[in-house]
Structure 1
Amino acid sequence: MEIRLAIIIPFYKKKYFRKTLESLKNQTSKNFSVYIGNDNSPENIEDLLIGLAEDFNFTYQKFDKNVGAQSLTTQWDRCIALSSNEDFIMILGDDDVLGENVVEQFYKNLETVEDLNIKVIRFASQLINEAGEKTSEIFLNPEIEKAATSYIRTLQGKGRSTLTEHIFSRAAYEKYGFKDFPVAFGSDNVAWLEFPDLADIFSINEAVVNVRISKEHLSSRNDNGLDYRKREGIYLFNRYIIANYDQYFTEEEKILILKKSYRNLRYYSRNKIKTLLFIIFMFRKIGLKTWQIVKDNRFND
C-alpha cells in the first residue's frame, strides 16, 4: 500500500523519547514514514535508533545549528522538508505517545476524509504526566466541526488543541505554512483555522493521542522571560485571527478573542503607544464594546 502519512518528530529532549518511539513500533499499521530532525541537541540518541529500521521506515538528520530556541516553527519547517511526497503530515512531539491504532484509524477514515475534501484531521487526546500516568479524561470532539467553532470551543475551555493530535494535508501546509509567533504560541491554533480554509475539521475519536505535560514541557516551565514571550505570542496570534478572519466569528466571539489578546498585551507590555493602537484596532472591530474590555483589564501604569 502506498505510504500516505509522514510522521515528523522535531527532536531536542531524550528523556521521554524512547516511549515516543515505542508507540510508533506498536502501531497496528506500519504504513507510515518517520522523519526525525535533531535540533542540535546535546543529548545523543543514536543508541535509541539502532535497529529501528526493522520496525518502521525512518530518516534521521542531526542539524548543525539549533534554531528552535529562536523559532520553533523554523525547526518544524526544516523537519518537514526532510520528508518525501506523503500527502498527509503529523508533527509528533518528542515526549508524546500515540495510541497503537492511530495510523490504522487514519487509513480507515481516509476515503471519507478525501471525499469530504478535509484538510485537517484531529484525534481524541488525553494528558499524561512524567511517569506516563493518565491525568485527564479523554478529550473527544465532534466528528465534523467548523474550524472557527473548534477554536472558540478551545478558547472557552470546552476543548483542547495541541500540535501532536492533528494530521494535516501537505497541500494545505504548502499553501499557508506555520505563522511564526513567539515560542510558537498559537502557531498551531492559526494553522487549524487556515489549513482547512476555515471549513471543516474531521475528528477521529476511536484513537487517542497521549500528550505529555512535564516540568520540561514549554507550557509548564516557570520562567519569567519565557512567560512574557508566551503572553506576547497569545496577544499576537489572537490579534492575527481577528485581523484576518473576523468575518467567521460572531460579535460575542470576537469580543472573547479580543479580550484574550488585550489581557495578554497588557500583561507583557506597558507600552502606551502599542496599547493605544490596539484599542483603536479593537474599536474598528467591535465599536463601543471595546471600552468594557479596557475597563476590565486596567492596570496601574
Structure 2
Amino acid sequence: MNEKKLVSGLVSIAIPAYKKKWLKEAIVSALSQDYPNIEVIIVDDHSPQNLREVVVPFLIDKRVSYYYNEINLGGKSVTNNWNKCLEYVNGEFFVLLCDDDVLMPNFVSELLKLAHKYPKCNIFHGERVLYHENTYSFESMESWPEYESFVDFQKEKKKVKRKHTITEFLYRSRCIKEKKYIVFPVGYFSDDASILEIVATGGIASSQTPLVKIRISDDQISSEEKYPIEKTKAAIMYNEWYMNNPMLEVSQQEIKNSVDWWAYGFFQSANIINKILILYLVPKFVWPLKQKIILFIKVCISN
C-alpha cells in the first residue's frame, strides 16, 4: 500500500460536504479548536448547491484544503465519500466532521488527552449533545465509561446503549486508513460496523463532558421516511456482517430479532410500493411466508 508518512501531532479534520445550509458553521467549529496543530480537509461530493461559495473565503487559512469530486460518490452510500476523505489525511489523528454538525472548541484537545493516557486505543469518543433543528432544543446524552474493552463495549451496544454518530470520534489515522469505513447502502449502519471494527483493535476511551453538537433535522438520511428500501437492505447486510464476523458474539435469534425490528420500522414508514418491496427483501428466516401474507393483507386493508 502506498501509505503517506503521517505528521506526528497533526490532527486532520475532514468534512465530507454535500449540504450547504450548515457547512460554514461546521468549518468554523473545526478552525476554532483550542488545539492549534490541525488541518481542515473539505471534500465536496459533487454537490449541486455551490459549496465552493462557502469554502473559498476560508482558503486564505493555510490549514484549509478543498477537494471536489468529479462524480458524486455518496449517492449510493455516504460512506464512499468518508473513505475518499481518508486519502487526503496527513495527520497522526483523524476526525470526520459531518457538514451539519459542530465540534466544541475543546473537542480535539480533550480527546488527545485520552489518546496519550490510553496508547493502545485507536479510537476516542466525545460525549454528544443533540440539537433538534425544528424545536431548537438541546438534549445531552449519557456519558460512556472513560475506558471500555471491546467485549464490554459490544455488550453495551447489544443492549442498545451505545448509540452514536460518526462525528463523535477521533481516531489514530493509521488504523482508520487501514480499516476504512464499511460501506452499506446509503451509509446506514456503516458507522456502527466501522466503529466496532476499530474498537476491536484496542478498546475505546471516552470523555465524560460534551464535546460535539449533533444536529437533528429532516434533511438527514436518518429521517424516518427517507430511503426505506435502501435502509432495509443495509439492515440485512449489517446483520449478515455481524453474524459472519468472528470477533462478535451473536446468535441467529438475535440477528432475526434485529432485522425484524428495523425492517418493520422501515416497512411502517414506507409507501405501498415500497412496503411490498420490503416484504420481498426480508429473508424468510426473519419473516416467513405466512407473516409476509398477513402484513400484505393488513396493508391492503389499511389502504
- CA distance in 2 between counterparts of 1:149 and 1:186 reads 20
1:104 alignment counterpart: 109
Q: CA RMSD in A?
A: 2.8
Shift of 1:21: 1.7
Change (3 A) 1:260 1:148: farther
Q: How many residues align?
A: 276
Partner amino acid, structure 1, of 2:232? R
**Pairing 1:68–2:74 present:** yes
SS in 2 for 1:298: helix
The one-letter code of the counterpart of 1:97 is V
Query: Are 1:209 and 2:212 counterparts?
Result: yes
Q: Is residue 44 from structure 1 mapped to residue 47 from structure 2 by the alignment?
A: no
Per-residue CA distance 1:234-274 (angstroms, 9 max, x = gap): 221122112113x64366xx6434410244457564349x7
Tell me whether 92-101 or 65-74 shows the greater mean CA deviation.
Answer: 65-74
CA distance in 2, matches of 1:41, 1:9: 13
**Which of 162, 173, 178 pairs up with 2:176?**
173
Most deviating of 213-222 and 117-126:
213-222
Counterpart position of 1:270:
279
In structure 2, list runs of 5 or more residues that go unmatched.
1-6, 268-276, 297-303
Equivalent position SS for 1:71: coil
Contact 2:122/2:201 (8 A) holds in 1: no
2:123–2:172 CA contact under 8 A, matched in 1: yes
CA distances 1:197-245 after superposition (whole Å, capped 9, x unpaired): 364111122342111111101101523xx01211221221122112113
CA gap of 1:183–1:250, structure 2 versus 1, over 3 A, is closer
In structure 2, what residue type is equivalent to 1:243? N
Shift of 1:30: 2.2
Select between 46-55 and 9-18 the one with higher mean Cα deviation.
46-55
Report the CA distance shift for 1:233/1:148 in structure 2 as closer, same or farther (over 3 A). Answer: farther
Percent of aligned pairs with the same residue?
22
- Summarize deviations over 1:90-144 as a string: whole Å, max 9, x none: 1110000011110111232221132xx1011111011102279443223311111
Structure 2 SS opposite 1:41: coil
**Alignment match, 1:186:** 189
Distance in 2 separating the partners of 1:100 and 1:111: 19
Does the residue aligned with 1:87 lie in a helix, a strand or coil?
strand
- For residue 271 of structure 2, what is the aligned residue in structure 1? none
Distance of aligned partners of 1:271 and 1:158 in 2 relative to their CA distance in 1, 3 Å threshold: same
The residue aligned with 2:126 is 123
Residue pair 1:96, 1:212 contacting (<8 A) in 2 also: yes
The answer to whether the 8 A contact 1:125-1:209 is kept is: yes
After TM superposition, the score normalised by the length of structure 1 is 0.80
SS of corresponding position for 1:14: coil
Specify the alignment match of 1:18 in structure 2: 24
Question: 1:287 maps to what in 2?
Answer: none
Match of 1:153 in 2: 156
Q: Distance in 2 between matches of 1:125 and 1:139?
A: 9
Query: Could you say what secondary structure the match of 1:236 adopts?
Result: helix
Extract unaligned runs of 5+ from structure 1. 280-292
After superposition, the C-alpha distances for 1:20-66 in whole angstroms (9 at most, x for unaligned) are 12212322122211111001111223343344256561110111111
Cα distance between partner residues in 1 of 2:131 and 2:158: 21
1:260 aligned to 255, 258, 261, which one?
258
Bigger Cα displacement from structure 2, 19-28 vs 178-187: 19-28
What amino acid does structure 1 have at the position aligned with 2:254? L
Change (3 A) 1:150 1:197: closer
Give, in whole Å, the separation in 2 of the partners of 1:2 and 1:244.
Answer: 33
Note the 1:192-231 alignment, pairs <5 A. Answer: 192-197=195-200, 199-220=202-223, 222-223=225-226, 226-231=227-232
Report the more deviating stretch, 117-126 or 42-51: 42-51
Q: Which amino acid aligns with 1:48?
A: V
The answer to whether 1:239 aligns with 2:244 is no
Match of 1:7 among 13, 18, 35: 13
| Other-structure match for 2:249 | 249
Conservation of the 8 A alpha-carbon contact between 2:239 and 2:255: yes
Q: How far apart are the structure 1 equivalents of 2:162 and 2:198?
A: 19
Residue 119 to residue 255, structure 1, CA distance change in 2 (3 Å): farther
